[in-house]
């Protein structure tokens, strides 16, 4: 990231989660695993690259996350989380069983398991908060 007042498409960061490849599916944050567990081969990893939010994207996320019911504004946290995830994610390293790259698009994002998406959203919020941007998006 540059020390600029502008956000470019190059202002990105990566988040990785781990999941089991057996029938007893589970998904974990890196902090919830030991290095031995990661190295064991029992877990696969998925890394998604996210862009930093710019002002226009932040405003759109908030506008689409806010409803007016009986004249009273109402914030929809679920819509906010989904938009944050969908609009800031730019690519992933997912491969199919033949090691061919899986195309990254909105359809595939929406087909992901909700437990994996939930962990990515949690980590995305933590990352943005650590950069002072989570509250800035909420206040846009």
Beta-bridge mates of residue 95: 101
Q: Is residue 47 part of a domain?
A: yes
Containing domain of residue 46, as a range?
Answer: 12-138
Q: Is residue 51 part of a domain?
A: yes
Report the domain count for the chain. Answer: 1
Q: Is residue 2 very low, low, confident or very high in pLDDT (cuts 50, 70, 90)?
A: low
Q: Is residue 75 part of a domain?
A: yes
Q: Which residue has the higher pLDDT, 68 or 54?
A: 54
Mean pLDDT of 61-84: 93
Mean pLDDT of 95-119: 92
Cβ density class 79-112: b for 16+ within 10 Å, e for less = ebbbbbbebbbeebebeeeeeeeeebeeeebeeb
- For residue 89 the two structure tokens come to 């994610």
Q: Is residue 120 part of a domain?
A: yes
Q: Is residue 129 part of a domain?
A: yes
What are φ and ψ of residue 6, in 5° steps? -105, 150
Q: Is residue 4 part of a domain?
A: no
Helix axes 114-130, 77-88, angle to 10 degrees: 80
Q: Is residue 32 part of a domain?
A: yes
């Amino acid at each position: 990231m540059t020390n600029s007042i502008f956000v470019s498409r190059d202002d990105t960061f990566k988040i990785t989660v781990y999941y089991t490849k057996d029938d007893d599916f589970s998904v974990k944050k890196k902090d919830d695993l030991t290095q031995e567990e990661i190295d064991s081969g029992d877990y696969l990893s998925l890394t998604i690259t996210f862009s930093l939010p710019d002002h226009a994207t932040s405003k759109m996320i908030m506008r689409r996350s806010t409803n007016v019911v009986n004249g009273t504004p109402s914030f929809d946290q679920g819509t906010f989380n989904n938009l944050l995830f969908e609009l800031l994610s730019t690519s992933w390293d997912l491969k199919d069983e033949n090691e061919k790259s899986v195309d990254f698009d909105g359809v595939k994002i929406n087909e992901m398991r909700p437990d994996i998406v939930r962990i990515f959203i949690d980590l995305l919020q933590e990352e943005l908060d650590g950069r002072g941007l989570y509250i800035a998006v909420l206040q846009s």
